């Protein structure tokens, strides 16, 4: 291999990798700068990612939907991306409609979040152990499912799990992309993700 190939080859590979990393950072910073914010109500558990330190797994109440409260589009397929329209109410955002495509227009106090549909019965195999056996059910996975905290503080956050007092501030853009901006407990902001 020539001297030129070695220098330019490795430099090019390093530049490409730097570009990919920069794209990750810029994408998140841009999203965090979005003016659209929603606070989502959670139920966290506290595992430990051996590669990435302490983090809290976040489960949201709006991940389990039922058609008597939320409009669920028929024919949705598990594993596919779906769009959940939210009313930006306080203290927590409330779900309005679940659809396969992003809504064409939104009211001023509405936002949309993109999620993965884990399972739905489309109203054909209703869950029988609830008070509405004719309702369609849908179970989602939101893309903001983990929050990394300073080592050892995960259990402190976990204590709020049973009280359901933990809220996650999520920044959203018009495409439904989401990024965690911070955490709220009892209506007070306790963590905020700095841009840099």
Partner 1 sequence: MLANLYAKRVSRDLDQWVAKGWVTSDNAAAIRRNLDGDETASRLPTIISILGGVLIAFAAMAFVAANWQDMSKGLRLGLLFAAMWATYGIAIWTHLKKWTGFGETALFIGTGLFGANIMLIGQMYHLPSDFSAGMLAWGFGALATAWAVNSRAALIASQLIFLSWFFNDVFAETLQLTYLLPWLATSALAFRLNWAPAKHMTMLGLLAWLLGNVPVLTDMFALGPWEALTAVTFLLTLAWIAAIWGEASGFPFARTAQAYLSFSVVVVLWFTQVADELVASHATLTALTLTIPLTLAAAAFALRSIPHLKLLDKLALAALPALPLLAGFTMSEESGPVLWIIAPLILGLSIWLVALASRQLNRFLVNLGFAVFAAEALFLYFETFGTLLDTAAFFLVGGVLLIAGALILQRMRRRTLPPSQSATGEVAP
- Residues between 154 and 193 with contacts to partner 1, criterion CB under 8 A: 179-180, 193
Beta-strand runs (E) in the chain = 36-45, 48-49, 53-60, 64-66, 71-72, 81-87, 94-99, 110-120, 137-141, 146-148, 166-172, 178-185, 188-192
Token pair 């936002």 in the structure block, residue = 111
Coil, helix or strand at residue 101: coil
Residues near partner 1 (CB under 8 A), total: 42
With contacts defined by CB under 8 A, name the span among 5-13, 34-42, 66-74, 89-97 that binds partner 1.
5-13
C-alpha–C-alpha distance, residues 14 and 24, integer Å: 15
Is 35 a residue that touches partner 1 (CB under 8 A)? no
Cβ-based nearer residue to partner 1, 69 or 77: 77
Is 26 a residue that touches partner 1 (CB under 8 A)? no
The pair of structure tokens assigned to 109 is 């106090």
User: Judged by CB under 8 A, which of 150, 155, 174, 175 binds partner 1?
Assistant: 150
| Contact characters 57-86, partner 1, x per CB under 8 A | x--------------------xx-------
Is 45 a residue that touches partner 1 (CB under 8 A)? no
Cβ-based nearer residue to partner 1, 17 or 89: 17
Q: What is the DSSP string of 112-160?
A: EEEEEEEEE-TTTS--TTSS-TT--EEEEE-S--EEE-STT-HHHHHTT
The residues that touch partner 1, with contacts defined as CB under 8 A, are 1, 3, 5-7, 9-14, 16-18, 20-21, 24-25, 28, 32, 49, 51-53, 55, 57, 78-79, 143-148, 150-151, 179-180, 193-196
């Amino acid at each position: 291999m020539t001297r030129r190939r070695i220098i330019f080859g490795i430099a090019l590979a390093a530049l490409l990798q730097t570009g990919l990393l920069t794209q990750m950072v810029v994408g998140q910073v841009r999203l965090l700068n979005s003016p659209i914010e929603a606070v989502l109500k959670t139920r966290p558990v506290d595992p430990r990612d051996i590669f990435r330190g302490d983090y809290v797994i976040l489960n949201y109440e709006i991940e389990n939907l039922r058609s008597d409260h939320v409009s669920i589009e028929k024919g949705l397929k598990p594993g596919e991306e779906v769009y959940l329209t939210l009313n930006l109410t306080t203290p927590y955002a409330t779900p309005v409609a679940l659809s396969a495509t992003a809504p064409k227009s939104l009211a001023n106090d509405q936002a949309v979040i993109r999620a993965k549909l884990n399972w739905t019965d489309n109203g054909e195999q209703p869950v029988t152990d609830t008070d509405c056996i004719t309702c369609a059910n849908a179970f989602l996975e939101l893309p903001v499912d983990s929050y990394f905290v300073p080592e050892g503080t995960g259990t402190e956050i976990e204590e709020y799990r049973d009280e359901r007092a933990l809220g996650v501030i999520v920044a959203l853009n018009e495409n439904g992309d989401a990024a965690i901006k911070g955490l709220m407990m009892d209506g007070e902001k306790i963590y905020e993700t700095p841009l840099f």
